[in-house]
């Protein structure tokens, strides 16, 4: 999911590795470390961390705090983000269970599920990584619940999470951490794309109602079909939402076949929820279908729709 930060990022420059590796025994050292078990690797890295922290002082910690983009407070006031949270929670669809998500997920979660480069994730020295998107953790939990429940039971989960993205961004003012509201709907293939149509319509109604609740009026939803199935799902949902007299009527819904980001990450269809503000189209929400629960449960019948809304961006655009 791209909300709040985009998907750009670069790997560690080869010049850095060329300089550092000879001093520590070359690539063979890296290969030996990566081959260790999780517990052995953690023990070694904890000892490295202990030796490094022994050299730190209160003064050096303060200097690092003022320079480290990961540790700086958010530029958006807390009360503004809280108002954005409340606006979304007030229109949360029935049957959605809110979770208090952990700040970390198992090592490899983002790369194994969403094919996100590890360079974009803040990895810990234990077998975990700092959350970069709440929908990853929500998908993990949904897969666990789906395996424990009757196959006909649809699982709807949501969560608020302060996430960290490790890549550097070209846009000015882009923060390394921000709050996302994540929503996932996990279920089973019902035939004729009934699950997909129902889940997508509900996510879009929620996103539009949430943005409208903050005072935003000129809303724009762009659906990007990624397959023939996606074309059919999009056409059916557009027809359904065109009949709405509720919150979804506040948005213009269009097809966007030009979108390139998200292809390979999403399956069949993805979407963006935007707001026109002072002549500029501001992206606030993003989502689409993925194969994550299919992979996690080893069942090709599993279906999953994920979406997220950037609360820092929503609070700033709506001037909450």
Domain chopping of the chain, boundaries: 78-318
Torsion of CA 135, 12, 129, 80, to 10 degrees: -60
Looking at residue 247, what is its pLDDT?
Answer: 64
Per DSSP bridges, beta strands 251-255 and 219-225 are parallel
Looking at residue 73, what is its pLDDT?
Answer: 92
CB-based contact 192:231 (threshold 8 Å): no
CB-based contact 164:130 (threshold 8 Å): yes
CB-based contact 219:273 (threshold 8 Å): yes
Give the full edge-to-edge strand order of the sheet including 155-164.
Answer: 97-99, 155-164, 177-188, 302-310, 280-290, 267-277, 219-225, 251-255
Residues 247-283 have pLDDT tens digits of 667 789 999 999 999 999 999 999 999 999 988 999 9
* 107-129 CB burial, b ≥16 within 10 A, e <16: bebbeebbebeeebbbbeeeebb
CA gap 314, 219 in Å, rounded? 12
CA gap 29, 33 in Å, rounded? 6
Positions of the chain with pLDDT under 70 = 1-13, 169-173, 246-248
CB-based contact 182:306 (threshold 8 Å): yes
Looking at residue 299, what is its pLDDT?
Answer: 94
78-318 has which CATH code?
A: 3.30.930.10
CB-based contact 285:308 (threshold 8 Å): yes
| Tokens encoding 64 | 């690092």
CA gap 88, 210 in Å, rounded? 5
Contacts of 136 (CB under 8 A, 6+ apart): 105, 109, 110, 113, 114, 292
CB-based contact 214:312 (threshold 8 Å): no
Looking at residue 242, what is its pLDDT?
Answer: 87
CA gap 261, 250 in Å, rounded? 26
Note the pTM of the prediction, 2 decimals. 0.90
Would you call 286 helix, strand, or coil by DSSP?
strand
Judge residue 158's burial from the number of C-beta atoms within 10 Å of its C-beta, 0-12 exposed, 13-18 middle, 19 or more buried: buried
Q: Where are the beta strands (DSSP E) in 237-320?
A: 251-255, 267-277, 280-290, 302-310
Looking at residue 17, what is its pLDDT?
Answer: 84
CA gap 216, 179 in Å, rounded? 19
Looking at residue 13, what is its pLDDT?
Answer: 59
Residue with token string 């666990």: 144
Looking at residue 245, what is its pLDDT?
Answer: 72
CA angle 295/306/10 to nearest 5° reads: 80
Looking at residue 8, what is its pLDDT?
Answer: 42
């Amino acid at each position: 999911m791209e909300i709040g930060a985009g998907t750009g990022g670069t790997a560690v420059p080869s010049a850095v590795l060329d300089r550092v590796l000879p001093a520590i025994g070359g690539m063979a050292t890296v290969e030996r470390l990566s081959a260790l078990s999780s517990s052995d690797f953690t023990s070694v890295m904890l000892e490295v961390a202990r030796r490094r922290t022994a050299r730190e002082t209160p003064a050096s910690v303060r200097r690092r705090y003022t320079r480290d983009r990961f540790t700086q407070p958010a530029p958006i006031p807390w009360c503004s983000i809280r108002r954005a949270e409340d606006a979304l929670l007030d229109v949360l669809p029935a049957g959605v269970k809110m979770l208090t998500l952990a700040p970390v997920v198992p090592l490899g979660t983002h790369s194994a599920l969403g094919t996100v480069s590890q360079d974009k994730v803040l990895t810990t020295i234990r077998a975990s990584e700092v959350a970069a998107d709440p929908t990853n953790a929500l998908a993990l939990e949904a897969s666990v619940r789906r395996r424990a429940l009757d196959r006909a039971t649809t699982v709807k989960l949501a969560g608020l999470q302060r996430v960290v993205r490790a890549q550097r961004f070209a846009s000015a003012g882009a923060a390394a951490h921000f709050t996302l509201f994540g929503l996932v709907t996990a279920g089973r293939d019902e035939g004729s794309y009934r699950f997909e149509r129902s889940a997508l319509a509900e996510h879009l109604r929620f996103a539009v109602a949430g943005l409208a609740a903050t005072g935003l009026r000129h809303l724009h939803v762009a659906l990007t079909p990624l397959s023939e199935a996606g074309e059919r799902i999009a056409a059916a949902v557009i027809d359904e939402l065109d009949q709405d007299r509720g919150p979804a009527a506040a948005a213009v819904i269009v097809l966007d076949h030009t979108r390139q980001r998200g292809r390979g990450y999403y399956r069949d269809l993805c979407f963006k929820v935007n707001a026109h503000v002072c002549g500029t189209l501001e992206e606030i929400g993003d989502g689409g279908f993925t194969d994550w629960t299919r992979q996690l449960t080893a069942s090709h019948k599993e279906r999953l729709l994920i979406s997220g809304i950037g609360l820092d961006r929503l609070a700033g655009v709506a001037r909450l």
